Chains A and B, each alone.
Chain A
Amino acid sequence: MPIHEKSLIRPEDIKTHDELVLDGVDVSGHWSTFIESRVVDDYNENLQDEIAALPGGENIHRCWQCGSCTNACTVNAINEDFNPRYWIYLIRMGYQSELLRDKDIIWQCVSCNKCTYACPRDVFPEGVMKATSHWLEKKGHTPKSPSMHFDEVFTEQIVKTGKIEESRTIRRFFARTGQGLMQPWMVEMVKRMLKGLPVGLLTRMGLATLIAPKTNDWSKASAAIQEYIDEQNEKHDKALSLAELVETAKQDVAA
């Protein structure tokens, strides 16, 4: 596990010139390295509240920046740009533009919950990662991530039938993310299965893809959950002032 986080100075901000003379002073070479000053241009005062309004982000205000989450993080170990502590800092400070630089990797959290265990303040960083990727999508900063597509396909199926039938979930996931179903590993798996399985079992599996397994008496529960999810979605959109965002965009287009 990494103990040190990487330098906060981004490589593109470090300026070294081979030949530069300023006011008659020679400042070329390594010993006269400049650091581009950091400019915060879109400070979002509501950022923390918006993240806290989404599922998982509720406890973000408790963070005291010890960095245990980053130190414990599975993904950070293979990609040092994945840094939950830093993102929580940016969100709490409202540094939206800085946060947006990492918008394409935040959703890669694998939900192993090592951070949840390591956190001494019950911030629930895994939830904050989910809330942040949610926020990025709702605000239109990122297209829906494959991971979010998966979660949605999965939840839709539970709401509908009460149970998951995996091949159906996987098929829908590939359809929605625009990938072909014939992934090489899948073909290999089916080939192996065909080799060893008795015919009866194959027929049953075939049937299971046609007739999804279902929990009995689910329709009432299904309607209640769906209604509730819609209600929550509305609440989240309101917390993120999405309607106003759309309104402003409309006015911009009109003008």
Chain B
Amino acid sequence: MSTTKEKYKKVAYYPGCALEGTGHSYNRSTKAVGKALGLDLVEVKNWNCCGATAAHSIDQRASIELAGRTLNLATRLPHSDLLVPCPMCFNRLKTAAWTLNQDMADRYAIHLKGALPKIWDLANFFATDEMLQCVAKHIKKPLEGLKVVCYYGCMANRPPEITEAADHENPQSLDRIMQNLGATAIPWPYKTDCCGASQVLSRPDIVSQLVGKLYDMAQRVGAQAIVVSCQMCQANLDMHQEKIGADWGKSFSLPVYYFSELIGLAQNVSGVKHWLRRHITDPFALLRHLNLWNSS
């Protein structure tokens, strides 16, 4: 494709801390896929942590102000869309934007300086008609034969008053993206159930029960893999599969892909190998089996 400058659509991008660590593959694949599609992701300059779940349980006001600072930095950019790949960050930014636009905004030491860009959950952005058509044009290798369940988790959807998710009990964005790539997205009941998040450190037994339930159902509906849009869910589902299988007396083998990695795979973008290498549950065997993976 031509790379003339005006063909690039510029959007603001807030990666968040986790995408510089455990979510490295999510970050890299999003950037690579965006580039191939003609999207220029402009990182919000000098951003800070959104506060995540921890800050609001220590201090509610500080959690709004942390996210508020980043929002103010985003208003300085001329772009009308702000893409947020991490659902936790998305939730905190939306909460801050909502709170700071209410009557109670006076209670906070930070005020919004200007009109906010539209805050997008990355999966929802890629599931708009415009983006789906754009992706469809760039597909080189449809993911035929790949049967997945899409797992959305808590933060991109709840509470709907804040996230403005249209179909928060049965979200469709990842399913639409997967169908568009030629894969089969199987409907299942646990799309928005919780993976246990940071309790993985405090109470691994709770996480084992919650995540085991997801594996069990995914296998029962006939899925070969799980597709996610959250690095926390990815880590919880990917890292402990062997151990959780042992807890449940079963053997699970479900690779956990970011949706952006699979878009990259279908588009044959370079770098897919490096993203997938960081997974714990073998992501290659299934792709080889389906003839979707050529290099050794």
Contacts and interface: CB of A to CB of B under 8 A. Distances in A.
Interface of A: 55-56, 74-75, 78, 108, 110-114, 116-117, 127, 130, 134, 145-152, 154-155, 158, 162-167, 170, 173-174, 177, 184-185, 188-189, 192-193, 196-197, 208, 213, 215-218, 221, 224-225, 228-229, 232
B49 A193 contact: no
B interface, how many residues as a size bin? 35 or more
B66 to A, nearest CB: 7
A185 B17 contact: no
Main secondary structure of the interface of A (DSSP, over half): helix
Contacts of B58: 55, 151-152, 155, 229
B18 interface: yes
A170 B198 CA distance: 10
A232 B47 CA distance: 25
A110 B210 contact: yes
A151 B57 contact: yes
Contacts of A116: 158-159
B60 A55 contact: yes
B54 A150 contact: yes
B194 A155 contact: no
B69 A221 contact: yes
A111 B197 contact: yes
B17 A166 contact: yes
Contacts of A167: 21
Interface stretch (B115-123, B129-137, B180-188, B201-209): B201-209
Contact of A146 (B21, B60, B202): B202
Interface of B: 17-18, 20-22, 46-49, 51-62, 65-66, 69, 109, 154-155, 158-160, 168, 193-194, 196-199, 201-203, 206, 209-210, 239-240, 242-243, 277-278, 280
Which of B22, B49, B69 counts the most A-chain CB atoms under 10 A from its CB? B49
A148 B203 CA distance: 12
Contacts of A134: 57
The 5 closest A-B pairs by CB, nearest first: A112-B194, A146-B202, A154-B54, A164-B17, A162-B48
B49 A162 contact: yes
Contacts of A216: 46
B158 A166 contact: no
22 contacts: A56-B60, A74-B210, A108-B203, A112-B158, A113-B155, A116-B159, A117-B168, A134-B57, A146-B201, A149-B202, A150-B201, A155-B55, A155-B58, A155-B59, A162-B48, A163-B20, A167-B21, A173-B201, A174-B201, A177-B202, A189-B239, A228-B61
